[in-house]
Structure 1
Amino acid sequence: MNIKLNQSQANQKSEIKVTGSKSETNRLLLLQALYPNIALENTSNSDDSEVMAKALTQNSKPKTQNLQPEIIDIHHAGTAMRFLTAYFATQENREVIITGSPRMKERPIKILVEALQQLGAEITYEENQGFPPLKIKGKKLSKSKVSLPADISSQYVSALLLIAPKLENGLELTLEGKITSIPYIKMTLAILNDLGFEASFVDNTIAVKPKLIIHNSKFIIESDWSSASYFYSIVALSDIGTEIKLSSYKENSLQGDSVLSEIYKNLGVETTFENHQIILKKASDLNQQSQILDLNEAPDIAQTIAVTCFGLGIGCHLTGLHTLKIKETDRLEALRIELQKLGANITVTDDSLTLEVSSVTERNIAIDTYNDHRMAMAFAPLALLTDIIINDAEVVSKSFPDFWNDLKAIGFKVEKQ
């Protein structure tokens, strides 16, 4: 399905309820599988979280010599691949093969597999060394010390931390090198601590103590800040006075992407926290200077920011983006190709993006999405400036299934093709 977005104007005032954070939900679903006394509210309705939940509740059969391993297909869900690899490594007497889409089979997982093997896990590669699919024979892991490079993906770290309380002797994890996406690691640790687990992070060492059971506990999941980014972009590209109210959000958020409220100040958007909601208001014309930002701790909002700057006719230099090369697509290259279609002057390297001052010069351009939900949503706000087509628009269901309906609700002209 493609979506045609005819040039639109956002309503002066709108209100949207955003689904629960995918990042928080997937962490808590895994913990809930390990500790069933955990109750969850405001879980994400994203494809990724549904895939995660399905895999965790898939019927397991006692292993005998005559039974084939269970097949767990996580499609495009990278977080699920990392988290479930760690989870199934701890499930005694279970044997599974975790697989996914063709793109998933190109996304590296060797660092996590080797870390789990240091703990005693039994994991082998079914096809290419270092990549899914994986065959995992679950077993009791009694070793407790492990180290891994921390400059590739914070999801490897979080995967280990989430299973740590269930390990017989807990976990002492040493991170080597510069740590990527620290807020996501801190999110995992904060969730563990909020639920009563003992976890500490000192220098480059994280320690989690074992805990066999926890008492009944309820966790209310905050809405997704990454999803909020597209509304920040819309407000930034709208007339002064435009307001969008989003729920449910916390001023002391665990999510690294909450840095949006600071970044978008320079793009003319003011954020007010009020009764678990955020009110985004186009308060002024933007600071005309090019934006220079290190997004090492919030790389998922890079696409949104680059498109916003292009729409505003200003430049930007974004760094700390090395993890974007191994996402659903090579997001840096995808951004370069699609922004150039619209008239942008943009260059990318392995870890940065530079957008020169340029403006929209083309109309009715079809934007390819590369099986990447963030490509579809990051480009949609440009419909405030020109007619645009989003190819394979259903890809948004990976993280934000209601996105196109929510755009209609705030005044966008959305046509299915």
Structure 2
Amino acid sequence: LYDFSVFEGSSRLIERGISVYEDIFKKIGIEISKTDKSITLKGRLKSSEYTVTGNISSQFISGLLFALPLLDGDSKITVIPPVESKPYIDITLSVLKEFGIEIAKDGENSYLVKGNQKYCPKNMTVTGDWSNSAVFFALNALGADIDILGLSENSLQGDKIITEYIKILKEENPLIDISSCPDLAPVLFALAAVQGGAEFIGTRRLKIKESDRAEAMKEELAKFGIKTEIYENRVVICNGTLKPPKCAISSHNDHRIVMACAMLLTKTGGIIEDCGAISKSYPNFFEVLSSLGAEVSYET
């Protein structure tokens, strides 16, 4: 929306792929340059017809949906299937509608966006977060008795499927597709490690999260004595006996890894290093965990 913009962030954030935007921006004359900790844009977004790959990240689609209504002309977004994390696109459309933005669907995977629109301020009540609640559902599956409040069964959040996936993990030879809910992967991997293993498909995009979540969980589960096998688009958590880790658990600077491993440590005890990553989504997570009866102490 501006002629010149600079975005600064951690090196991990900057290295996460933005190839979708690079391809789009190149076609409309926007220049992109990157350093280890910044991305610079020169040139303005234009109303146009955009074609976006749907199996990399829904965030690219959401970004266009937020920005295009503010331009002078009308635009169209066509998403090339398969469309992964589609619930996040649905949430984006719902939020935009709440703030007065009109976007019409044109078939299953295309969106018509009128230009010259304005966001209208309003008061809203935000529903509970199914993604952050997943660890508590998992703890309940391990024998806890936690009342999880403030969640809506009618929510558009894709991660509400956590309750169904926990049921599947109790079945023989469980198989779970996480292509539409990659944020659940670490907690589900951890729960599978306790409950006899499982196979997960749709795991390819775990590489481009705050950490490479499949590799990160493989490394940490090994400390608990659990073997993990990683394939191109599949992860297998092998059957094994959970053991107390003999060394500290790494957060991999990823809030989801922190929560997943903290859940396992309630069973074995141990240390998580650099757990400040939890502040990204749940700053008081360990205070809540402590209030539920877990013994939590901090080392400096």
| TM-score, scaled relative to structure 1 | 0.67
* 1:157-172 correspondence to structure 2 within 5 Å: 157-172=61-76
How far 1:254 moved relative to its partner?
Answer: 1.7
Greater relative contact order (Cα < 8 A, sep 6+): 1
Pair 1:326–1:215, CA change in 2 (3 A)? closer
* 1:363-374 correspondence to structure 2 within 5 Å: 363-374=245-256
Q: What fraction of aligned residue pairs are identical, expressed as a percent?
A: 30
How far 1:183 moved relative to its partner?
Answer: 0.8
Deviation track 1:240-267 (CA, whole Å, cap 9, x = no partner) reads xx43223322111121101112222345
Equivalent position amino acid for 1:341 in 2:
K
How far 1:117 moved relative to its partner?
Answer: 4.3
* 1:240-259 correspondence to structure 2 within 5 Å: 242-259=144-161
Aligned twin of 1:178:
82
* 1:31-180 correspondence to structure 2 within 5 Å: 90-91=1-2, 95-118=4-27, 120=28, 122-127=30-35, 133-137=38-42, 139=44, 141-180=45-84
Equivalent position amino acid for 2:205 in 1:
T
Aligned twin of 1:379:
261
Structure 2 runs not aligned, ≥5 long: none
In 1, Cα distance between equivalents of 2:53 and 2:93: 18
State which of 162, 170, 174 in structure 2 corresponds to 1:260: 162
Confirm whether residue 406 of structure 1 aligns to residue 291 of structure 2.
no
SS where residue 297 of structure 2 aligns?
A: strand
How far 1:208 moved relative to its partner?
Answer: 1.9
Aligned twin of 2:126:
221
How far 1:143 moved relative to its partner?
Answer: 2.8
Pair 1:125–1:215, CA change in 2 (3 A)? closer
In 2, Cα distance between equivalents of 1:288 and 1:297: 21
How far 1:155 moved relative to its partner?
Answer: 0.7
Confirm whether residue 303 of structure 1 aligns to residue 186 of structure 2.
yes
Aligned twin of 1:231:
136
* 1:205-354 correspondence to structure 2 within 5 Å: 205-238=110-143, 242-266=144-168, 287-312=170-195, 314-354=196-236
Pair 1:122–1:289, CA change in 2 (3 A)? same
Deviation track 1:102-142 (CA, whole Å, cap 9, x = no partner) reads 22232111211322444x463321448xxx73222464x44
Aligned twin of 1:270:
none
Pair 1:135–1:244, CA change in 2 (3 A)? same
- Please tell me the root mean square deviation across aligned C-alpha atoms, in Å: 2.0
> After the TM superposition, which of the residue ranges 336-345 and 207-216 deviates more from structure 2?
207-216
Which has more strand, going by share of residues?
1
SS where residue 218 of structure 1 aligns?
A: coil
Q: Is the 8 A contact 1:320 1:351 kept in 2?
A: yes
Deviation track 1:83-103 (CA, whole Å, cap 9, x = no partner) reads xxxxxxx13x5x321122122
Pair 1:155–1:375, CA change in 2 (3 A)? same
Structure 1 runs not aligned, ≥5 long: 1-89, 268-286
SS where residue 153 of structure 2 aligns?
A: coil
Q: Is the 8 A contact 2:99 2:120 kept in 1?
A: no
In 1, Cα distance between equivalents of 2:266 and 2:38: 42
In 1, Cα distance between equivalents of 2:138 and 2:220: 17
How far 1:204 moved relative to its partner?
Answer: 2.4
